[in-house]
Amino acid sequence: MSPEFASVMMFVVLLIFLVIGMPLAFALGTVGCIFGYLSLGSCVFPIFASRVYSLMTNYIMTAVPVFVFMAYLLEISGAAERLYIGFRNLFGPLRGGLAIGTVAICTLFAASTGVIGAAVVTMSLLAVPSMLKYGYAQDLATGTTCAAGTLGILIPPSIMLVVYGSLSGISVGKLFMAAFLPGLLLSSLYILYIAIRCFIRPDDGPAMSYAEISETSLSQRLWKAMLGIAPMLLLIIAVLGTIFTGIATPTEAAAVGCFIAFLMVIGNGQFSLKSMSSIVIKTLKTTCMVNLIVIFAGCFTTVFLGIGGGETVTNFLLGLGLPDWGILFLMLFIVFILGMFIDWIGILLICTPLFLPIAKQIGYDPLWFALLICLTLQMAFITPPFAYAIFYLKGVAPKEVQLTNIYKGVLPFVALQWVAVLLCIIFPQIILWLPSLIKS
């Protein structure tokens, strides 16, 4: 088989396996084994073993289970509930205030944990019923929760950035710093959209009356909100502060975060052996899922690059005659389309070894390009048909919430995510300014 034909057929067979319902990890592994044996013979299996060993001994990847464990600790700690009550009373009297408060809470939650499942499920249980109770449009309530809940995959500490750092060799600390402003940019765009929409259409996000708020005094509402924010800020400072100052590696910082989250669980009276055993099992399942995809996707990309697929993709993209920005948008569009059908981990493991060399050859800053890819990948969580955030929300939302309204609700936020990507392309310093402060 020619490299061109084999490269195309690998993706065709992978797509067939995914369509018939085979899990992504096993689909990647099966395709890698079949084409590896056909193209390289039995020597491909020792190569696989070496690849698996190098992935499993990657120190950066040890941060994944620790961050996952911290996320599940936060989920049961009750911190989100206290934070939501404070923000609901603070922002409730504003048009769209509950939705704006939801975005603010999710931003704080995102800066505390790199797992979106905990944020989306928690806010779906807290914010969506509350917004519907006070007359919010169903699509605004669900769209806000889905989009804001996924900020955790981008705003550090982010597992996506940990995985990207292990694949690309880029410092995870610099990736975290580079992602901070784009994450806040997204959060700000969401709040701006909600404010404008509810100003134009007040019935979509009616303001709460002061009679519906337990604390009528502004100072009381501010104090209650600050009490909810304080533990989260302590966790953020402990995790991100130690990474940004160079005191600790991401894995060590995650361990510190776990300790503080554990204290929050005890302090809020949520500790029990049953809950802790449940968290350990959930962490084990999530970590195994991530590792399986990493292993089998590594086998897939090893074969794909070994048969000349990398050169085929590079020659194809560079041979299209597009300007540099055209190639950039084509790569981002490919990532966007893949995000509708494939898990983000698989996309990173497939696309990073293919697109990063092209970006370097064109002359793009690898750190800037990395964040553009991750910004685009964040859309995968809210773009149908395979949108994890939508599935999480639908699974726990009130029965009256319709799936069509969730799809309708996320579309404006997908558009806002593209706006954020364009702004980061036009103004690269949104990504590069903070990392430049720690360059040696």
**Mean pLDDT over each residue of the chain, to the nearest integer:** 83
- Is the distance from CB of 210 to CB of 88 less than 8 angstroms? no
pLDDT at 210: 63
pLDDT bracket for residue 383 (50, 70, 90): confident
pLDDT at 49: 82
Which residue is listed with tokens 């060590």? 252
Higher pLDDT, 30 or 54: 30
- Is the distance from CB of 32 to CB of 349 less than 8 angstroms? no
Q: What angle is formed at CA 404 by the lines to CA 399 and CA 405, rounded to 5 degrees?
A: 70
Q: How do residues 304-336 score in pLDDT, each as one tens digit?
A: 877 777 777 777 777 777 888 998 999 999 889
- Is the distance from CB of 60 to CB of 166 less than 8 angstroms? yes
Give the separation between CA 324 and CA 87, rounded to whole angstroms.
45
- Is the distance from CB of 222 to CB of 122 less than 8 angstroms? no
Say whether pLDDT at 425 is over 80.
yes
Q: Which of 220, 213, 224, 203 is nearest to 95 (CA)?
A: 203
Mean pLDDT for 1-6 is 74
Q: How do residues 141-193 score in pLDDT, each as one tens digit?
A: 999 999 998 888 888 888 888 888 888 888 888 998 999 999 999 999 999 99
Say whether pLDDT at 388 is over 90.
no
- Is the distance from CB of 358 to CB of 325 less than 8 angstroms? no
Give the separation between CA 395 and CA 20, rounded to whole angstroms.
23
Give the separation between CA 275 and CA 260, rounded to whole angstroms.
17
Say whether pLDDT at 440 is over 60.
no
- Is the distance from CB of 35 to CB of 226 less than 8 angstroms? no
Q: Name the CA dihedral angle for 16, 21, 22, 28, rounded to a multiple of 10 degrees.
A: 50
Mean pLDDT for 128-136 is 87
Give the separation between CA 10 and CA 67, rounded to whole angstroms.
33
SS (H, E, C) the chain: CCHHHHHHHHHHHHHHHHHCCCCHHHHHHHHHHHHHHHHHHHHHHHHHHHHHHHHHCCHHHHHHHHHHHHHHHHHHHCHHHHHHHHHHHHHCCCCCHHHHHHHHHHHHHHCCCCCHHHHHHHHHHHHHHHHHHCCCCHHHHHHHHHHHHHHHHCCCCCHHHHHHHHHHCCCHHHHHHHHHHHHHHHHHHHHHHHHHHHHHCHHHCCCCCHHHCCCCCHHHHHHHHHHHHHHHHHHHHHHHHHHHCCCCCHHHHHHHHHHHHHHHHHHCCCCCHHHHHHHHHHHHHHHHHHHHHHHHHHHHHHHHHHCCHHHHHHHHHHCCCCCHHHHHHHHHHHHHHHHCCCCHHHHHHHHHHHHHHHHHHHCCCHHHHHHHHHHHHHHHHCCCCCCHHHHHHHHHCCCCCCHHHHHHHHHHHHHHHHHHHHHHHHCCHHHHHHHHCCCC
Q: How do residues 229-267 score in pLDDT, each as one tens digit?
A: 778 788 888 888 887 777 887 778 888 888 888 888 888
Say whether pLDDT at 439 is over 60.
no
Q: Name the CA dihedral angle for 16, 22, 23, 29, rounded to a multiple of 10 degrees.
A: -70
Q: How do residues 326-381 score in pLDDT, each as one tens digit?
A: 989 999 998 898 888 777 877 888 888 888 988 998 899 999 999 999 999 888 88
Mean pLDDT for 397-425 is 90
- Is the distance from CB of 147 to CB of 107 less than 8 angstroms? no
pLDDT bracket for residue 212 (50, 70, 90): low
User: What number of other Cβ atoms are within 10 A of residue 171's Cβ?
Assistant: 16
Q: How do residues 261-297 score in pLDDT, each as one tens digit?
A: 888 888 878 888 888 898 899 888 888 877 787 788 7
Q: Which two tokens stand for residue 300?
A: 């897939």
pLDDT bracket for residue 44 (50, 70, 90): confident
User: What number of other Cβ atoms are within 10 A of residue 226's Cβ?
Assistant: 12
Say whether pLDDT at 407 is over 80.
yes
pLDDT at 285: 85
Say whether pLDDT at 215 is over 60.
no
pLDDT at 106: 87
- Is the distance from CB of 105 to CB of 124 less than 8 angstroms? no
Give the separation between CA 274 and CA 279, rounded to whole angstroms.
9
pTM for the predicted model, two decimal places: 0.82
Higher pLDDT, 147 or 120: 147
Give the separation between CA 37 and CA 412, rounded to whole angstroms.
46
